[in-house]
Chains A and B, each alone.
Chain A
C-alpha cells in the first residue's frame, strides 16, 4: 500500500492486487501496536489515505493466476481471468503466521485454552480475555519462539517481532486483568527495535510480568483442566513445573503461501528461509533476480511495520531508477 501510494505520488499508474477482501493485511487483525501501543487502525487509516489516489486502481479479492514476462514488460492474469499489463511489478505478498498446530507438543487445537498471539489480539479487540468456560484466566503463560529458531519445524531464523509482541501482550493482559499473573518463557529476549527495551523494562517494573529463561518442551492438561507445562528454569538450573489457565503461543512469521506459489510460478529466487531472496541483503534488498520485479516488505524477511514501510519506499525508488534507466 505504501509502495502504491508513493508510486502514485510520483505520477505512475498503479494496479494494487489484494487477495483478501480488504487491503492492509495482518494490520487488520491487530489491536494495538508495539512499542508505543497506538491503535493499529491509525496506521491503517494512514495507508488507506495513501492509496486513495486517482492513479491507483485497487483489486480486492483478487488472486494472481499467472505472471508472464516478455520484452514489453509483464502480463498479470488474475484467477477470474482479468489481464493487466505492467512495466514493473512490486511483490508485496507479505507473511503468514506460523501454524501453531504444527508444534503439536504445545497442544494448540488439542487442549482448551492454548491460543496464539493472533487469537489473543482478537480477544483484545473484543475487549475480553476469556477461557473456553467463559471465566477470566488468573495465570497466563506466554511461549516465545513458536515456529521460529526451531529446526524441528524447519525454521532456523528468528522472526524478531515475537519477543516484543509477547512483552506488549503481557502488559495488555495485566491491564485487562489486573489480578492475573503473566509468565513469559523465552530463550533470549531480542529487544532490538527502537523503544523495545524500554517496553520490556516497563513490563517488569510497572506490570510485574515474570520472565523465565527456558524453552517450553511440552504442555499437557491436568486432571482439574489446567495446563501444565514443562520447562527448565535455566538460570536457576532446575526443571520448573507450573499450572496455568491459559497458554499463549507467539507464532512466528513464515513466507506466505501466495509468495511460495508466485516463486514457483515465476522463478523468483527464495532463500533457505523460504522468503524471497533479494539480489543483495545490504544494498539491493528490493531487487529480485528478474529484471523489472521488485520486493517490498515481509516477503523478503520478518520486518516490523516501520521497516516494512521504509522497505516499500526504497522499492519505489528502485522502480523509478529502473524506469529512468531502461524505459527512456
Chain B
C-alpha cells in the first residue's frame, strides 16, 4: 500500500495510570527531602549546566514524579554535581544526592543514564 505519511498521533497527556514512577519512589525512599520541592526554580536559576544545556532539576523532579522518565534520563548526564543548587534551595532538598540517586535508579531500572 502506498504510504501517504499519515500516522496516528500519540496523545500528549501524561498517562498517570500506566506511567512508571518507580524512579521517583526509589529516590524518595532514600532521600526524603526529594518530596519537599515546591518547583520554585531557584536550583535551575543558579545551575551552570542549565544555563547552557537543557538541564533543569526542577523539571527533573516534576517529570520523575509523573513517571515521565525519558527526558530526565537523558538530561541528567549534564549535571556536573557542583552543588550550587543545594546552596540556594529554600526547602533544603539535598539536590546532589537526588541526582546521584537518580543516576543509580536509571541504571537499575532503565539501563538509562551512565
- Would A239 and B44 count as touching, CB distance under 8 A? yes
- Would B50 and A217 count as touching, CB distance under 8 A? no
- Would B90 and A151 count as touching, CB distance under 8 A? yes
B88 within 8 A of A: yes
- Would A151 and B92 count as touching, CB distance under 8 A? yes
Closest to B85 in A: A217
- Would A232 and B44 count as touching, CB distance under 8 A? yes
Stretch at the interface among B1-9, B15-23, B34-42, B103-111: B34-42
Contacts of A233 in B (CB 8 A): 41
A232 to B40, CA, bound (A): 8
User: Do A215 and B42 form a contact, CB below 8 Å, given A145-B90, A239-B50?
Assistant: yes
Contact partner of A216 among B44, B45, B50, B56, CB < 8 A?
Answer: B45
- Would B91 and A215 count as touching, CB distance under 8 A? no
Dominant secondary structure at the A interface? mixed
B96 to chain A: closest CB distance in Å? 16
Q: Which chain B residues in 62-114 approach chain A with CB under 8 Å?
A: 88-92
Contacts of B56 in A (CB 8 A): 232, 237
User: Do A187 and B46 form a contact, CB below 8 Å, given A151-B90, A152-B90?
Assistant: no
Contact partner of B46 among A150, A152, A217, A237, CB < 8 A?
Answer: A217
B28 within 8 A of A: no
Q: Which chain B residues in 21-59 approach chain A with CB under 8 Å?
A: 38-47, 50-51, 56, 58-59
- Would A232 and B88 count as touching, CB distance under 8 A? no
User: Do A234 and B41 form a contact, CB below 8 Å, given A239-B50, A239-B51?
Assistant: yes
Contacts of B43 in A (CB 8 A): 217
- Would B45 and A214 count as touching, CB distance under 8 A? yes
A213 to B88, CA, bound (A): 16
B59 to chain A: closest CB distance in Å? 6
- Would A151 and B91 count as touching, CB distance under 8 A? yes
Contacts of B59 in A (CB 8 A): 237
User: Do A215 and B90 form a contact, CB below 8 Å, given A232-B56, A237-B59, A239-B45?
Assistant: yes
Name 15 A/B residue pairs within 8 A (Cβ), A-sorted.
A149-B38, A152-B89, A152-B90, A213-B41, A214-B40, A214-B45, A215-B40, A215-B45, A217-B46, A218-B45, A232-B44, A232-B58, A234-B41, A239-B47, A240-B45
Taking beta carbons and an 8 Å cutoff, which residues of B are in contact with A? 38-47, 50-51, 56, 58-59, 88-92
Taking beta carbons and an 8 Å cutoff, which residues of A are in contact with B? 105, 145, 149-152, 187-188, 213-218, 230-234, 237, 239-240
